[in-house]
Chains A and B, each alone.
Chain A
């Protein structure tokens, strides 16, 4: 009985060692992967910061003002002035859509008849 126990214990130790070895390498691989992802995120963030800086640079008020002046023919943009405020009364009511026509409409006799027929 005892030797069987010894053999089983030995096998268990080997199995546990193998498991620990695999876990160790799996963890290291996962850490490396995460590190790579972090680096990728950092690169993307850096790219994003550059894009944002460029967006701000391209949208700087000086440039927009010049573009509005150059493209005045097409866009007709003017500085905002007090006169451009409207009142709710100046807005037209929306024209109502035609109601759905589901009843037949009798149009007989609505056209003027030629006199000779009378």
Chain B
């Protein structure tokens, strides 16, 4: 109800009294203003309160949220579910047909927390029963010396894990592990190498390569982006297994200390099989030798095919001859001086067992009969500089580029100076050492028509290009000469019907550590390409200290040791690789010939 500013009764009354009625109006106006002021103040106060409350609530919320964020573990906001988990920590290794050479399986590691262990003594005893190589006393001491964490076992088999579970002590704990498994055991052990654990944690451990291709391509194998793509090697599991079987039998029969074989595709440089004996199991890699006097070759870890740097003997002769053909110095039928022994300064060059194939011998026969003197004369025609350049182009001055961690360390041993006597000895493979893999690459160049290919352990798609080191004609003539070695020369035991083996034998005396050569220790090598009419593969077989005792007196030449082994390898392996034997041309029927 609104109070009038000039209430009539009071105005009239004031007029009667002679007062100014305006005062009443002013008074009423003042009162009304006061009321209005009080009302608006109350309203403003209320608004301020609400605003204050709102601010308080807002700041409290923000503060609480900040506190919560600071106090909790950070978690990514999730808008979608994670993709497929990475299960393979390390990529598989498979052979060229996709058969597994190395894979991973999950297993467990055993660790202990002695602080919560109920019965350390009993646990130690029971663990020693499960793992015979551990001693109960040692374990007990380690369980009771006050530490709160210790590794007991890096990997467990499921059976062992079950037995540890049955102990039932809360102080024994398991951590998941990925373990590298080589299902084929010793097969291709030197190629695969092996792995071990790197940084280890309770929840996982990294698997790192320790040797072979596992170490050389460690980064590729551990790359998480390629974890599900297996690494495809050029090896063929069946061929590798067959070669290992035959080579092992040959090594045993010939009482050799070691052996190595390489089978390589001449056009692509893909290594189909690479083996070195004695071998080892990469699942349980032996420790390297620590004995200072031990030769590296005594350890099964030593890869003779790649690391074994030997004088390769007469297998080198074909390089001197091929170069002379390439330079146009000789033709296959040219007669060269082969009158043994040959005197060069104070050195005397002799033939095997002091024979003399001379006075003159055709170049083809120099190779077929393996004449040192003939080769020496051819090498002298070429000269040291050109000889070095040619051997360099064949890769004999560098370590092989194959994908093995051992390869870069195995550099060929090259004479520091190159006088003419070195030219002579190098021409028949003495004084200079290289690995069988070097020899395989160089023979592949002869086999494929004169192009140098890079030996590789990885499967290649399509043809590869390389540097041409000799003309196709020279390579072809060289293969024909190598074929003559098998048909009528020193490698007659190497003939495999249908496969036209062409190759060259090499017998080199082993050098003594103290200098000089052993009289009765040799390294025998047979380097071959087959089939001669269209070479597909090169096979190198090396035997370390073999003796053939089947005859009346022990024989140590490659023709009696490495050659039959290589022939057996070709006989067994070529059909597996799908090489059809070439039928020898049958003599034309006399009656049919007459009627035509």
Q: A34-B81, A42-B84, A42-B87 are in contact. Are A60 and B574 (CB under 8 A)?
A: no
**Nearest Cβ distance between residue B180 and chain A, in whole angstroms?**
10
Q: Which of A1-46 contact B (CB under 8 A)?
A: 30-31, 34-35, 38-39, 41-42, 45-46
**Nearest Cβ distance between residue A24 and chain B, in whole angstroms?**
12
Segment of B62-70, B308-316, B481-489, B575-583 engaged in the interface with chain A: B575-583
Question: Residue A53 contacts which of B83, B183, B496 (CB distance < 8 angstroms)?
Answer: B183
CB-defined contacts of A83 to chain B, threshold 8 Å: 581
A-B contact pairs, 6 of them (CB 8 A): A45-B87, A46-B87, A49-B106, A56-B183, A79-B572, A82-B575
Whether the pair B103, A53 counts as a contact (CB closer than 8 A) is: yes
Q: Which residue on chain A has the smallest CB distance to residue B88?
A: A49
Please list the residues of chain A having a beta carbon within 8 angstroms of any beta carbon in chain B: 30-31, 34-35, 38-39, 41-42, 45-46, 49-50, 52-57, 59-62, 65, 79-85
CB-defined contacts of A62 to chain B, threshold 8 Å: 184-185, 187, 241
Q: A50-B105, A82-B581 are in contact. Are A41 and B84 (CB under 8 A)?
A: yes
Query: In the assembly, what is the distance between CA of A39 and CA of B84, in Å?
Result: 9
CB-defined contacts of B497 to chain A, threshold 8 Å: 82
Question: Residue B81 contacts which of A35, A56, A79 (CB distance < 8 angstroms)?
Answer: A35
Additional A-B contact list (17), CB under 8 Å, known A50-B105, A60-B183, A84-B575: A38-B83, A42-B85, A45-B87, A49-B87, A53-B105, A53-B181, A56-B99, A60-B185, A60-B187, A61-B187, A61-B241, A62-B184, A62-B241, A81-B572, A82-B498, A82-B499, A85-B580
Q: Which residue on chain B has the smallest CB distance to residue A45?
A: B87
**Nearest Cβ distance between residue B447 and chain A, in whole angstroms?**
20
Whether the pair B78, A31 counts as a contact (CB closer than 8 A) is: yes
B100 contacts partner chain A, Cβ-Cβ < 8 Å? yes
**Nearest Cβ distance between residue B381 and chain A, in whole angstroms?**
41
Whether the pair B241, A49 counts as a contact (CB closer than 8 A) is: no
B27 contacts partner chain A, Cβ-Cβ < 8 Å? no
B245 contacts partner chain A, Cβ-Cβ < 8 Å? yes
Query: In the assembly, what is the distance between CA of A35 and CA of B81, in Å?
Result: 6
Query: In the assembly, what is the distance between CA of A60 and CA of B99, in Å?
Result: 10
CB-defined contacts of A30 to chain B, threshold 8 Å: 81
Question: Residue B237 contacts which of A35, A50, A57, A61 (CB distance < 8 angstroms)?
Answer: A61
CB-defined contacts of B100 to chain A, threshold 8 Å: 52-53, 55-56
Whether the pair A60, B184 counts as a contact (CB closer than 8 A) is: yes
- State the 8 A-B residue pairs at the shortest beta-carbon distance, nearest first: A61-B241, A34-B81, A56-B183, A56-B100, A57-B183, A82-B581, A80-B575, A60-B184
B 546-583 binary contact with A (CB < 8 Å = 1; else 0): 00000000000000000000000001101110001100
Query: In the assembly, what is the distance between CA of A39 and CA of B241, in Å?
Result: 38
Query: In the assembly, what is the distance between CA of A30 and CA of B80, in Å?
Result: 9
CB-defined contacts of B183 to chain A, threshold 8 Å: 53-54, 56-57, 60
Whether the pair B104, A56 counts as a contact (CB closer than 8 A) is: no
Query: In the assembly, what is the distance between CA of A35 and CA of B560, in Å?
Result: 67
Q: Which residue on chain A has the smallest CB distance to residue B106?
A: A46
CB-defined contacts of A31 to chain B, threshold 8 Å: 78, 80-81
Give the interface size bracket for B toward A: 35 or more
B 48-85 binary contact with A (CB < 8 Å = 1; else 0): 00000000000000000000000000000010111111
Query: In the assembly, what is the distance between CA of A71 and CA of B78, in Å?
Result: 59
Question: Residue B85 contacts which of A38, A60, A79 (CB distance < 8 angstroms)?
Answer: A38
Query: In the assembly, what is the distance between CA of A70 and CA of B403, in Å?
Result: 38
**Nearest Cβ distance between residue A67 and chain B, in whole angstroms?**
14
Q: Is the interface of B mostly helix, strand, loop or mixed?
A: loop
Q: Which residue on chain B has the smallest CB distance to residue A39?
A: B85
CB-defined contacts of A80 to chain B, threshold 8 Å: 572, 575-576
Q: Which of B100, B242, B574, B576 has most chain A Cβ within 10 Å?
A: B100
Query: In the assembly, what is the distance between CA of A38 and CA of B106, in Å?
Result: 18
Query: In the assembly, what is the distance between CA of A39 and CA of B85, in Å?
Result: 8
Q: A42-B87, A49-B105 are in contact. Are A82 and B81 (CB under 8 A)?
A: no
**Nearest Cβ distance between residue A31 and chain B, in whole angstroms?**
5
**Nearest Cβ distance between residue A97 and chain B, in whole angstroms?**
33
Q: Which residue on chain B has the smallest CB distance to residue A34?
A: B81
Question: Residue A35 contacts which of B82, B106, B181, B498 (CB distance < 8 angstroms)?
Answer: B82
**Nearest Cβ distance between residue B263 and chain A, in whole angstroms?**
15
Query: In the assembly, what is the distance between CA of A102 and CA of B504, in Å?
Result: 71
CB-defined contacts of B106 to chain A, threshold 8 Å: 46, 49-50
B238 contacts partner chain A, Cβ-Cβ < 8 Å? yes
Whether the pair A85, B581 counts as a contact (CB closer than 8 A) is: yes
CB-defined contacts of B572 to chain A, threshold 8 Å: 79-81
Query: In the assembly, what is the distance between CA of A59 and CA of B85, in Å?
Result: 29
Whether the pair B105, A61 counts as a contact (CB closer than 8 A) is: no
Q: Which residue on chain B has the smallest CB distance to residue A54?
A: B183
Q: Which residue on chain B has the smallest CB distance to residue A83?
A: B581
Whether the pair B574, A82 counts as a contact (CB closer than 8 A) is: yes
Whether the pair A82, B571 counts as a contact (CB closer than 8 A) is: yes
CB-defined contacts of A35 to chain B, threshold 8 Å: 81-82
Query: In the assembly, what is the distance between CA of A84 and CA of B185, in Å?
Result: 30
CB-defined contacts of B80 to chain A, threshold 8 Å: 31
**Nearest Cβ distance between residue B572 and chain A, in whole angstroms?**
6
Question: Residue B103 contacts which of A34, A52, A61, A82 (CB distance < 8 angstroms)?
Answer: A52
Query: In the assembly, what is the distance between CA of A82 and CA of B569, in Å?
Result: 12
Whether the pair A85, B245 counts as a contact (CB closer than 8 A) is: no
Question: Residue B571 contacts which of A39, A53, A55, A81 (CB distance < 8 angstroms)?
Answer: A81
CB-defined contacts of B575 to chain A, threshold 8 Å: 80-82, 84-85
Whether the pair A49, B81 counts as a contact (CB closer than 8 A) is: no
**Nearest Cβ distance between residue A46 and chain B, in whole angstroms?**
6
Q: Which of B454-508 contact A (CB under 8 A)?
A: 496-499
CB-defined contacts of A82 to chain B, threshold 8 Å: 496-499, 571, 574-575, 581
Query: In the assembly, what is the distance between CA of A85 and CA of B88, in Å?
Result: 42
Q: Which of A38, A45, A57, A60 has most chain B Cβ within 10 Å?
A: A60
Q: Which of B189-248 contact A (CB under 8 A)?
A: 237-238, 241-242, 245
Query: In the assembly, what is the distance between CA of A79 and CA of B185, in Å?
Result: 21
Q: Which residue on chain B has the smallest CB distance to residue A41?
A: B84
**Nearest Cβ distance between residue A51 and chain B, in whole angstroms?**
10
CB-defined contacts of B241 to chain A, threshold 8 Å: 61-62, 65
CB-defined contacts of B581 to chain A, threshold 8 Å: 82-83, 85
Query: In the assembly, what is the distance between CA of A92 and CA of B580, in Å?
Result: 20
Whether the pair B184, A56 counts as a contact (CB closer than 8 A) is: yes
CB-defined contacts of B185 to chain A, threshold 8 Å: 60, 62
**Nearest Cβ distance between residue B539 and chain A, in whole angstroms?**
15
Q: Which residue on chain A has the smallest CB distance to residue B99?
A: A56
